[in-house]
Amino acid sequence: MAGLEVKDSEGEMKEKLEAHLKGSVPGKEDDFFNVSKYPKATFNILGSTKLENDPLGTHMINGELRIKDITKPVSFKAVIDLSSGVALKATAEPFVIDRTEWDIKFKSKKFFDDLKDDFVNDEIKLELTVGAVKAAQ
């Protein structure tokens, strides 16, 4: 989680937002991810399904995403490259999760009625690359 990166902002605004998301701003540790308390997020692959003629991916990857000790099922399209014969690389198309399902409620309209235009969108876009190497026999 320490590598969390904001992709749609630059400069000081980007740095401040990343610090807030990581929980490294005193008094705001629990607003989002609290990286010091929850340093890792994990994705456990449960299976995949081959896709035919899909421009966004060769496979649908199914698994469980764990953030802040909360695990939820997640599926996304990915391009799987097995060309080396030894290694696998799966690059996911950017996909969206609802942050509130992982108890990230800061300024969510689902939980606070009086926010007007001062809300934070519940949808988070994730980009993910998974790598694996065939075990030696």
Higher-pLDDT residue of 23, 83: 23
State the pLDDT confidence band at 130, using cuts at 50, 70 and 90.
confident
Please give the Cα distance from 17 to 28 (Å, whole number). 11
- Average pLDDT over the chain, rounded to an integer: 90
Confidence at residue 93, expressed as pLDDT on a 0 to 100 scale:
83
Q: Please, what are the domains in the chain?
A: 1-39 (no CATH), 41-133 (2.40.128.110)
Confidence at residue 15, expressed as pLDDT on a 0 to 100 scale:
95
Does residue 106 carry a pLDDT above 90? Answer: yes
Confidence at residue 29, expressed as pLDDT on a 0 to 100 scale:
95
Instruction: Quote the strand ranges of the chain, DSSP E.
Output: 42-50, 59-67, 70-81, 87-92, 95-98, 123-126, 129-133
Please give the Cα distance from 94 to 127 (Å, whole number). 5
pLDDT, tens digit, for every residue of 72-91?
999 999 988 877 776 778 88
Does residue 123 carry a pLDDT above 90? Answer: yes
Query: Using CA of residue 82, residue 84, residue 87, residue 92, what is the dihedral sign?
Result: negative
pLDDT, tens digit, for every residue of 50-76?
999 998 889 999 999 999 999 999 999
